[in-house]
Amino acid sequence: MLLNEPDKDWEKIGRKDPYFGVLRHPQYRTRSLTPEAREQFFQSGEARIRTVLGTIDRHLGVALTPRRVLDFGCGVGRLLIPLARRSGEAAGVDISESMLAEARRNCAAQGVDNVRLARDLSALDGSYDFIHSHIVFQHMKVARGEAVFAQLLERLTPGGVGVVHFTYAKSRFGQTLSGIVVSRVPLGSYLFNLFKGMRPWAPHLQMNNYRLNRLFSMLQRARIADLHVEFTDHGGYLGTVLYFRKP
């Protein structure tokens, strides 16, 4: 194929470099992943969830003790496992079957047995009182991501809390140019890999920006009144984490 295909690229990453695909640090490469690095990887997930729950308590006034949790884009379970430990049951969704297989192994290794894994939201039933997604939507084309966000809002129970991350801008011209080359130019991802000194056929994840006014409109149509916004910067990709409670 001339243009990169995000779902297939994500599956390649899940098969060859699943931990690095979640957190892009050299110590999480498959070829160099040590038991100590793996432990650090999951400790970072535990720390992230503690921070998220503290923010919900401070800004939304909710001491969250969820019954059903959904982690969209769960990867190998970095955030799903600490969420499952705090809830009655947890569901993880990821497009990569290889990622899900590794998440399943990690849940078993850490004694977490209240998790259900699926490749698509349609495979899950019911609603959830906590829905979470972090550093995921930017890898989805915007129209598809907005449709998924609408489904997540529908799945959130009355009184439930959502925490969802989106990117909305790039702070560097080079990143803007590279995004155009990768997503729109035939063989663009291969040219980009050569420029970066990587293998030409290495998978390249898209970075897509969302329009915040559209996201806010979706929240308002869902009658969301309690909203807290935090800004993020992942190497020049500017984003926001939306904390919200459904009335």
Under a CB-based contact definition with an 8 Å cutoff, are residues 146 and 124 in contact?
Answer: no
- Strand bridging mode 226-234 / 237-245: antiparallel
pLDDT of residue 240: 97
Res 149 pLDDT > 80: yes
pTM: 0.86
- In this predicted model, what pLDDT tens digit does every residue of 217-235 receive, in sequence order? 999 999 999 999 999 998 8
Q: Mean pLDDT, the chain, as a whole number?
A: 89
CA 220, CA 234: separation in Å to the nearest integer? 27
pLDDT of residue 144: 96
pLDDT-based confidence at 171, cuts 50/70/90? Answer: confident
pLDDT-based confidence at 3, cuts 50/70/90? Answer: very low
HSE, side-chain direction, 13 A CA sphere, residue 58? 9
Structure tokens at 185: 């130019």
What domains appear along the chain, each with residue ranges and CATH number?
A: 6-168+206-245 (3.40.50.150)
Q: Residue 128's closest CA among 195, 180, 83, 75?
A: 83
- In this predicted model, what pLDDT tens digit does every residue of 34-72 receive, in sequence order? 999 999 999 999 999 999 999 999 999 999 999 999 999
pLDDT of residue 232: 96
Q: How many residues does the chain have?
A: 247
CA 54, CA 34: separation in Å to the nearest integer? 31
Res 127 pLDDT > 90: yes
pLDDT of residue 6: 74
pLDDT of residue 122: 95
pLDDT-based confidence at 196, cuts 50/70/90? Answer: very low
Res 131 pLDDT > 60: yes
Res 110 pLDDT > 90: yes
CA 184, CA 53: separation in Å to the nearest integer? 39
CA 90 to chain centre: 15
At residue 30, what is the residue type?
T
Over residues 121-139, the mean pLDDT reads: 96
